[in-house]
Amino acid sequence: MSAPPTSLRVTLLQTSAGTDIEANFRAIERMLPAAGGADIIVLPEVFALRGSHTDYRRHAEPLEGTILRRVASWAAERKVWMLAGSIIERAGRRFHNTSVLFDRRGRRKAVYRKIHLFEAHLENGIVVRERDTYSPGRTPVMASIEGWRCGLAICYDLRFPELFRRYAARGSHILFLPSNFTQRTGRDHWETLIRARAIENQCFVVAPNQCGVNPVTGVASYGHSMVVGPWGETLVALGARVAAASVTLDSARLDETRRRIPALRHRRL
């Protein structure tokens, strides 16, 4: 599997969304100037709204709704690719946790509906269970960004290596993982799992995460957004606060890693 012909400049936005959609949009717009020179801006999971199951259902929109129109306008105005980390999509009677990719003209290029739905029983007795709100997606989704083949995933998908192996087997260079990973699980598992997915698939992993506390549920998100290279090297590591960071993904890293250890060619299962 050959590497893409060019480098790609990626900007992650680590946000702390609440229940006020317009306030969340304004916070993102204040961060966009930090993405000057980016080829793609990547937003975290539920970037436009973080609240309760009731909030998610009340504000769910189809793909043609106002939230994604706003993201498409940012992409077109700035002439940059944008990955809308996830929105709550209303599709008939169903709700999905959905990631959407837009090109430099604001055209929708890929739609991924989260396949694996998170469930956790926290030490304080809170139960977080996405199936109470969402229906799972059924289909892995890949996209091409100017020669870079990309596999799309969301948050809890990180724990299911077979999804990422599928992407690698189909030639992925980048694995995108917009997230709202909780603080408790994040401390123990976030970096370990991200680096594992990068190493075993010899891909870049781009993982913007929410930070701060959900104002309705009280569940804290971990932050610590990351970009990891195909050797498992950390290229970006943010802290626990709202922040933005940019990094250039160099296709030579892919070639070098896959030349040194040609593990992807050695697969037998």
From CA 116, how far away is CA 156, in angstroms rounded? 6
205/213 Cα distance (integer angstroms): 25
Selecting among 89, 130, 150, 155, the annotated active-site residue is 155
What value does the CA radius of gyration of the chain take, rounded to a whole number of Å?
17
Q: Which of 114, 130, 203, 211 is catalytic?
A: 114
Nearest to 211 by CA among 254, 247, 241, 189: 241
Q: 45, 89, 150, 211: which is the annotated catalytic residue?
A: 45
Helices (H), 131-261: 161-169, 183-185, 191-201, 251-260
Is 197 in a helix, a strand, or coil? Answer: helix
Residues ≥6 apart with Cβ < 8 Å to 81: 39, 40, 41, 75, 101, 102, 103, 104, 145, 146
- Clarify whether 109 is annotated catalytic: no
| C-alpha 67, offset from chain centre | 17
Catalytic annotation, residues: 45, 114, 155
